Amino acid sequence: MEDIDRLLLKLKGYYFDHLSVDIGFIENLDDFEIREDDVFIVTYPKSGTIWLQQLLIPFFEYNFQKIYLGKRPSPGLLSTHLSYYLVPRGLKNKRAKIIYVYRNPKDVMCSYFHFEKNVKLQFTRTFEEYMILFLEGRVLRSLWFDHIKGWYEHRSLFNIQFMMYEEMKKDLRGSVLKICKFLGKELSEEDMDTVVRQATFENMKYDPLANYDKIITTAYGTNVKGHFLRKVTIGDWKSHMTVEQNESFDKIFQREMKDFLLKFIWDV
């Protein structure tokens, strides 16, 4: 585990990936211009970020290139994994809307493990080792518990809607309706059908854009083995974790999430 510091870069108490982080950008993030019609997707990694993007794209003229070039389209759809205390001031003033997607952390951990293994060639951890790192927050984007608790406990600062990955999976249409209500948008039945159809796993599975193929190969090279869209199940952790691992996870979860109000779905 000694190579952690080589792979990760801690800035303002939060782990970034030294390959992709723009230190100047992070340091000046507080002043990043937030527009009233911007919508932010906020997630801890592997919680359904791309899925939300796919759902929301029809609402926006979405173009990553423009964001990188600084010519942001308006309204803008932006995604971030940042912790609540790192985001621009304008968001804390409720200037823009935020959709926070969360997923049960055992499935997050398994999805993250496969992602790291497939994408990063230098990744040599066993699942057992990875679980320790995940539960200590010694992974890219730091501790899952801090992320969700930070956002939820400071929700009154933000204009924020919490969405659960598993609920989206069980009832995608109902979830889109909830998002529409939050964004103040109305969709015709026909548009609703299109949005839902485009965001199904079957439609996204082989879409290079939805799998971030270009971004991943630019950052990590062309030997990447896996896809962003992997298994898409609820309760995949059951095929990864031993009884003992599950018990020790539960113990930590209960300690960390005591009195936490949001509910979780652990299996189908």
Cα gap 216→18, rounded to integer Å: 14
| Rounded Cα distance, 35 and 91, in Å | 9
Pairwise CA distance, residues 43 & 144, whole Å: 10
The distance of closest approach from Cβ of residue 71 to ligand A3P in the complex, given in angstroms and rounded to an integer, is 25
Closest distance to ligand A3P from the beta carbon of 52 (Å): 8
Distance CA 255, CA 120 (A): 32
Tokens of 199: 């965001």
Give the pair of three-digit tokens for residue 189: 């039945």
d(CA 237, CA 226): 18
Question: Which of these, 8, 144, 159, 1, lies nearest to 87 by C-alpha position?
Answer: 159
Q: One-letter amino acid identity for 250? A: D
Taking the least distance from each CB to ligand A3P, the nearer of 157 and 229 is: 229
Clarify whether 227 is annotated catalytic: no
Cβ at position 93, least distance to ligand A3P in Å: 26
- Active-site annotation holder among 81, 114, 147, 240: 81
Q: Residues in the site for ligand A3P, rule: CB under 6 A?
A: 43, 45-51, 107, 111, 114, 169, 199-201, 204, 228-232, 236
Query: Which two structure tokens, joined as six digits, stand for 98?
Result: 């935020």
**Among 167, 151, 144, 129, which residue's Cα sits nearest to residue 42?**
151
Instruction: Using alpha carbons, list the distances in angstroms from residue 255 to 131, 251, 252, 260.
Output: 17, 6, 5, 10
Centre a 10 Å sphere on the Cβ of residue 51 and count the other Cβ atoms it contains: 26
Catalytic residues: 81
